[in-house]
Amino acid sequence: MRTVKGRHTKPEMTVRRLLHRMGFRYRLHRENLPGKPDIVFGPRRKVIFVHGCFWHGHDCKRGKRMPATNVEYWQAKIARNVERHGRQLAALEAAGWSALTLWECALKDESALALRLRAFLED
């Protein structure tokens, strides 16, 4: 697990490149916000989390996959990740921030992703 990156992952870079091409500018991983969001739009008070389906318990094919060994450990770990993210979203909302969570499996269709990002950021 030491080699698993938490920042600058391939899904995150995909979203960042698309946002830049769309003309949006942002900050990365602000440590003073709950959850250290992947992408932060300060003046808009909006943040984006880019989640890997396995690590954050998404209900897609990749997210439902479970390792064959040490199953109890992984189930508990993923459940803690899901619960922690829920607390972070609540804290952000209480502080007046809007959050969007993008899943790794939803990044394949770039045009749909661009529409979703634009709708979130221009709302």
* pLDDT tens profile 30-61: 999 999 999 999 999 999 999 988 888 888 88
CATH 3.40.960.10 fits 10-117, yes or no: yes
Above pLDDT 90, what percent of the chain? Answer: 78
Q: Kindly report the average pLDDT of the chain as a whole number.
A: 92
Mean pLDDT to the nearest integer, 98-107: 95
Above pLDDT 70, what percent of the chain? Answer: 96
* Per-residue confidence (pLDDT) for residue 63, from 0 to 100: 78
Is residue 48 within 8 A of residue 15, CB to CB? The reply is yes
Mean pLDDT to the nearest integer, 85-101: 97
3-state secondary structure 10-58: HHHHHHHHHHHHCCCCCEECCCCCCCCCCEEECCCCEEEEEECCCCCCC
pTM score of the predicted model: 0.90
Q: Is the pLDDT of residue 1 over 70?
A: no
Q: How many residues does the chain have?
A: 123
Q: Is the pLDDT of residue 3 over 80?
A: no
